[in-house]
Amino acid sequence: MRKRLFIDGDWVEAGEYRPLYAPYGGGQIAEIAYAGAAEVNLAIEAADKARPVMARMPAHERASILERLSVLIGEKAEECARLIALETAKPLKAARQEAARTVMTYKFAAEEARRIQGETIPMDAAPGGEDRIAYTIRQPIGVVAAITPFNFPMNLVAHKVGPAIAAGNTIVLKPAGQTPLTALLLAELLQQAGLPKGALNVVTGSGSAIGDRLVTDGRVKAVTFTGSPEVGIAIRHKAGIKKVTLELGSNSALIVDKGVDADAMMARAVTGAFSFAGQICISLQRIYVHEQLFDEFVRKFVAQTETLKLGDPLDPDTDVSALISSGDAERSMHWIEEARERGAVVATGGRREGNIVTPTVLLHVDPQASLSCKEAFAPIVMINKVASMEEAIREVNDSRFGLQAGIYTRDLGTALHAAEALEVGGVMINDIPTFRVDHMPYGGVKDSGIGREGVKYAVQEMTELKLVCFKR
């Protein structure tokens, strides 16, 4: 099955095609077009040509397109879920949840298209402002380059494409190399939904070759990227004065205070650590448990972990399947061994079966170990003992990342203090850091990125604020 590029409302041949293999089982799924400089330029040119069309389109028409898209995805939800499972090895039950969330994300985008608004400014609040009336409006920024990761190939694309269309922009989408199929399906569905040609263009292939051209081209006015800090920082340096939104991952942490009900939170915590084999930006990677609860918590966490079923992502009962590549599986095993050499105890897991790494729980991990300092993106979680909540907060903040954190506590004062003291973009009280719904503001501090997603907030990132002032 040969998959072409989608440019200016048409399917375009590329000069090169490469095979795409399934992470689980290794079978070939398709042949994917690899865009070169000429094709990327055509995509940007098409988006730039369509820019006035989208900018003039009334809000209700943009909303209607997004509403029709959400209906089409809903009608193909099972097909979408199976495609996600095939190209990512995401277990089918998680892939179905992603498809459902994608429908909701485009519904939110349709709603936001209808309520992009400014405000009136009381000009006479300042001397010299008398006899003036002023207000602000938000206008589309123009061509948006969207560069997306493999782990949520439909919903993270929706968080970029949905707000861009809602705001009246055009898009050049570069999906992750492992997950082009869902992005190309989106192009088909948006065409059916009535999106003007050129408003969405999908270019597949080499991230470095395509990404550099998108980031540096003067016709592209905004770049929205989800991926590694190293690539995100490079984009920031190359983008110049373009608007840039970066979501760069984390090593998200959970604090567990004394006195909480471990049973009530256990299934939730294990899900947060091992869902999609830990390949989630806010996957639960570090847990700091008060010493009074530590032994009980570890015992129950390990027992719950050992109930997870490993195997084929298309099996509806599978909980954990393969990592996205053999290289990631190998790196994960190196990190486990490094932590063990530094004194950590492997409470369960620590094995590899092909590209599957068994869900692994490590205790007493050295703060300098890779598992503590870096983003694992693997089914590995560390659990360390702390003597106080202050110690736990220090440990959480001792990180280059700051996307989201969670804390379970029965003490309101502790919760409020943690909400202020934790150096992250979002604090989940009495929940895991892996919680996200699609209309909330989402983004981090430090090396976790800049800007915010969540449809309303992404629309703000993808528009320009203009002041209009009348003098009587």
Alpha-carbon span 71 to 260, nearest angstrom: 42
Q: Within 10 Å of residue 419's Cβ, how many Cβ atoms? A: 15
Please list the active-site residues: 247, 281
Alpha-carbon span 88 to 265, nearest angstrom: 28
Residue 107 — φ and ψ, nearest 5°?
Answer: -65, -45
Residue 274 tokens read as 């091992």
Give first-to-last CA distance, the chain, whole Å.
65
Q: Quick one: angle between helices 180-193 and 77-88, nearest 10?
A: 160
Residue 324 tokens read as 């996205």
Determine the 3-state secondary structure of 144 from DSSP: strand
**Residue 465 to residues 138, 139, 141, 307, 445: CA-CA distances in angstroms?**
5, 7, 9, 52, 24
CA 91 and chain centroid, separation: 18
Instruction: Give one DSSP letter per residue of 244-310, joined into a string.
Output: EEEE-----EEEE-TT--HHHHHHHHHHHHHGGGG-STT---EEEEETTTHHHHHHHHHHHHTTPPB
Q: Give 413-416's long-range contacts (Cβ < 8 A, gap of 24+).
A: 414/257, 414/389
Contact 320, 308 (CB under 8 A): yes
Residues 6+ apart with CB under 8 A from 410: 257, 259, 260
Place of tokens 């809903």: 74
CA 78 and chain centroid, separation: 22
